[in-house]
Structure 1
């Protein structure tokens, strides 16, 4: 009986004196993971890609509430992760490519027969992804987020150049998407067939690292 009592007392003292071992859990979770929230960290240098969400289109309309402008059914972005700090925080990416397939684009602007191409200029852009899901895309200092649209008209090709200081989007873990809604561009050059303002809306999903969907923590 005394032996058992002594052993029980020794175990109790040890339990009180040994430090608690906390799991390497939430405190070490970075902003970007794969496999789910709190999953495998996305490594710096990994390349993330995302096409347009199935069944959606990317649009550049002449107003925030109208439907006159340009619509594309094929677009994709590619970005390289440059920083992935512990959450909550802001991960950084270098957006190296943002493409639109010209043959998938159409226009319903008076005097315009079709869309030859849409080219995103001044790449790479810096993309910041915050733990609250906010996504911000900016160009290098002294530059702007810029898109050149080439339209086919009865008078030949017309180049329309649009710029904006930055794009703001929202990431959603429900479908690993990033959505941009009515992001305003201003025409900086082009003929009267180029509308004065362009409002960009698109949903890209899923954002993946290789084949693995990316989550924002």
Structure 2
């Protein structure tokens, strides 16, 4: 990174798109999102899908796509509500309602601590396709936004970042959702805020928390 840490995510976000890549070809009556197995029960509209960081991994918010300095968070969660789940192949949709970050630190010169990382303006729309691609978008005319509050040698600063959309890849092998170097651009904040932020994180397993036992989610 450069002088100061920053970024966000997401929504958020999530922030925020909770589906998993197909492991096997779907039968004619299989839904895009199923739980328990790839040919399991269809996820119901209204069900809440949740995920935390994959075991042993962190969420990182870097100032460059290949940088090693910036913000590292040991905890992060996603939550989304299913709004449509058609037959496969197709695209399921979700409303990304929550993305949180905790245990965040920075190794950027001048940054003394990370006060908070907040995904703004939720919910966001999520499209989870049968090919495993997941796209998160804001309402028309808006952008995905994250606010980062930092303690620095010069006092507290607030950095606001936006992205037109976010992309992720899902996998049925470990029921994961992975964001890699998703770029945000600073739209307001102190001159100490870096111009860009790159979000990387893997969430696994993605589960249906509305079903007893919270079974893992698959995409077909």
User: 1:77: Cα distance to partner?
Assistant: 0.7
Q: Which sections of structure 2, spanning at least 5 residues, go unmatched?
A: 1-25
1:84-135 CA-to-partner distances (Å, cap 9, x unmatched) read: 000000000000011112xx00011111101000000010000110000000
Q: Distance in 1 between matches of 2:86 and 2:183?
A: 30
User: 1:148: Cα distance to partner?
Assistant: 0.2
Q: Distance in 1 between matches of 2:59 and 2:193?
A: 18
SS at match of 1:120: strand
Q: Distance in 1 between matches of 2:192 and 2:171?
A: 36
1:161-212 CA-to-partner distances (Å, cap 9, x unmatched) read: 1100000000100010000000000011112321111010000010000210
Normalising by structure 2, we get a TM-score of 0.85
- Point out the structure with max Rg over C-alpha: 1
- 1:111–1:193 contact (8 Å) kept in structure 2: no
Q: Distance in 1 between matches of 2:195 and 2:107?
A: 15
- 1:32–1:41 contact (8 Å) kept in structure 2: yes
Q: Distance in 2 between matches of 1:146 and 1:67?
A: 23
Q: Which sections of structure 1, spanning at least 5 residues, go unmatched?
A: 1-24
Structure 2 residue 198 is the aligned partner of structure 1 residue 195: no
Question: Which portions of structure 1, spanning 4 or more consecutive aligned residues, are displaced by more than 4 angstroms?
Answer: none
- 1:112–1:193 contact (8 Å) kept in structure 2: no
- Whose relative contact order is higher, 1 or 2, with alpha carbons under 8 Å and at least 6 apart? 2
Q: 1:193 to 1:108 in 2, by over 3 A?
A: farther
Residue in 1 that maps onto 2:123: 124
Normalising by structure 1, we get a TM-score of 0.86
1:46-102 CA-to-partner distances (Å, cap 9, x unmatched) read: 00000011111111101001111111010001100000000000000000011112x
Residue in 1 that maps onto 2:28: 27
* Total equivalences in the alignment: 191
Q: Distance in 1 between matches of 2:33 and 2:120?
A: 27
Structure 2 residue 218 is the aligned partner of structure 1 residue 215: yes
Aligned-pair RMSD on alpha carbons? Answer: 0.9
Q: Which has more helix, going by share of residues? A: 1
Residue in 2 that maps onto 1:87: 88
